[in-house]
């Protein structure tokens, strides 16, 4: 479990206790950016009492994307087969952890805890906030041809073997963009992505660190990537160059609902297309 923290002193003990209840065997890595409120010390104290908590202290606030990159690299170096990410502000209910891990056991490479599949919910959000999030997700899915309804969710489980194929050091985005980029790259690597429903609640303690800048960054990157997807194959950059399409490795795949091929009226990719395919499944 990788938990990025910045000033989560009011939440960290409760989050760690919830994880311990939901997945008693899980090892937790808290990636803390020298929170002035003593979050790292509280996590270490919890670990001293209950065990199995490590704290990676970074010198200054360096962003969510880089915290996850360092946390995943730590997890892979230490030989973990499954790496889970979640926020440390109690927006993500630790009780949902087993369903994420079960999704991997059922064959997925990435399981996204989704607010937007049947059974998922965000009970407290206003209609306008809901619409903004849905629109951003729908735009990103359409631009990138991904059949995932909650691309910005930060509650996920990855197979390490998938993360090992993604060049983490070159992942550019932070915040919401980081979550979108990771699905995009997972699919580009032929990963099987699945969504399971989660209930997302707003934090009640501490303050949000997300800014409008991360929304602008995410939309800008998605637009650039989507434009690149629409270039002729030979003009595409290294991310997709030279990769054998996933459908030729794995046999037939279900196309993402919003894929370009579906949009262009074709139900299946033709053999000469260079775009990687991916199996994207939802579970209600």
Ligand X SMILES: Nc1nc2c(ncn2[C@@H]2O[C@H](COP(=O)(O)OP(=O)(O)OP(=O)(O)O)[C@@H](O)[C@H]2O)c(=O)[nH]1
Contact residues for Mg ion (CB under 5 A)? 87, 89, 91
CB of 189 to ligand X, least distance (A): 25
Q: What is the DSSP string of 4-31?
A: EESS-TTTHHHHHHHHHHH-TT--EEEE
Q: Which does 29 bind (CB under 5 to 8 A by kind): ligand X, Mg ion, none?
A: none
Among 19, 43, 85, 87, binds ligand X (CB under 6 A): 87
d(Cα 215, Cα 133) in Å, to the nearest integer? 10
Would you say 45 or 201 has its CB closer to Mg ion?
A: 201
Would you say 57 or 236 has its CB closer to ligand X?
A: 57
Q: Which does 64 bind (CB under 5 to 8 A by kind): Mg ion, ligand X, none?
A: ligand X
Q: Which does 88 bind (CB under 5 to 8 A by kind): Mg ion, ligand X, none?
A: ligand X
Q: For residue 146, report the phi and psi dihedrals to the nearest 5 degrees.
A: -110, 135
Residues 9 and 39 sit within 8 Å (Cβ to Cβ): yes
d(Cα 190, Cα 179) in Å, to the nearest integer? 17
Largest alpha-carbon pair distance within the chain?
59
13 binds ligand X (CB under 6 A): no
d(Cα 114, Cα 148) in Å, to the nearest integer? 9
Helix 97-105 to helix 12-22 angle (10° resolution) is 50
d(Cα 211, Cα 189) in Å, to the nearest integer? 30
1 binds ligand X (CB under 6 A): no
Q: Which does 33 bind (CB under 5 to 8 A by kind): Mg ion, ligand X, none?
A: ligand X
Nearest residue to ligand X on Cβ basis: 208
CB of 203 to Mg ion, least distance (A): 5
Would you say 31 or 253 has its CB closer to ligand X?
A: 31
Helix spans in 194-273 (H): 212-229, 246-250, 260-263
5 binds ligand X (CB under 6 A): yes
Q: For residue 277, report the phi and psi dihedrals to the nearest 5 degrees.
A: -95, 170
Tokens 């990676």, located at residue: 56
**Residue list 205-234, contact with ligand X (CB under 6 A):** 208-210
CB of 265 to ligand X, least distance (A): 37
Would you say 176 or 184 has its CB closer to ligand X?
A: 176
**Residue list 57-76, contact with ligand X (CB under 6 A):** 61-64, 67
6 binds ligand X (CB under 6 A): yes
Positive or negative, the CA dihedral 102, 106, 280, 172 is: positive
Would you say 4 or 269 has its CB closer to ligand X?
A: 4
Question: Of 140, 126, 128, 240, nearest to 180 (Cα)?
Answer: 140
Contact set with ligand X (CB under 6 A):
4-6, 8, 31-33, 61-64, 67, 87-89, 91, 203, 208-210
């Amino acid at each position: 479990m990788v938990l990025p923290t910045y000033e989560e002193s009011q939440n960290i003990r409760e989050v760690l206790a919830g994880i311990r209840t939901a997945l008693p065997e899980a090892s937790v890595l808290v990636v803390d950016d020298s929170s002035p409120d003593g979050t790292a010390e509280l996590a270490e104290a919890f670990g001293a009492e209950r065990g199995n908590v490590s704290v990676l202290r970074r010198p200054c606030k360096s962003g969510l994307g880089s915290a996850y990159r360092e946390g995943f690299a730590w997890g892979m170096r230490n030989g973990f087969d499954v790496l889970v990410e979640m926020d440390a502000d109690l927006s993500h209910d630790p009780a949902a952890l087993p369903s994420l891990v079960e999704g991997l056991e059922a064959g997925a490479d990435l399981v996204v805890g989704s607010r937007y599949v049947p059974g998922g919910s965000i009970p407290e959000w206003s209609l306008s906030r809901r619409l903004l999030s849905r629109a951003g997700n729908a735009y990103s899915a359409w631009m990138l041809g991904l059949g995932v309804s909650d691309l910005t969710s930060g509650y996920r489980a990855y197979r390490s073997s998938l993360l090992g194929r993604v060049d983490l050091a070159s992942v550019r985005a932070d915040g919401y963009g980081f979550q979108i980029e990771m699905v995009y790259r997972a699919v580009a690597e032929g990963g099987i992505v699945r969504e399971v429903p989660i209930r997302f609640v707003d934090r009640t303690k501490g303050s949000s660190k997300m800014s409008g800048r991360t929304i602008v960054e995410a939309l800008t990157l998605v637009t650039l990537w989507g434009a690149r997807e629409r270039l002729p194959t030979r003009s595409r950059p290294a991310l997709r160059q030279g990769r054998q399409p996933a459908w030729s490795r794995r046999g037939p795949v279900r196309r993402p609902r919003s894929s370009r091929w579906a949009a262009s009226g074709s139900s299946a990719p033709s053999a000469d297309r260079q775009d990687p395919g991916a199996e994207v499944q939802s579970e209600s």
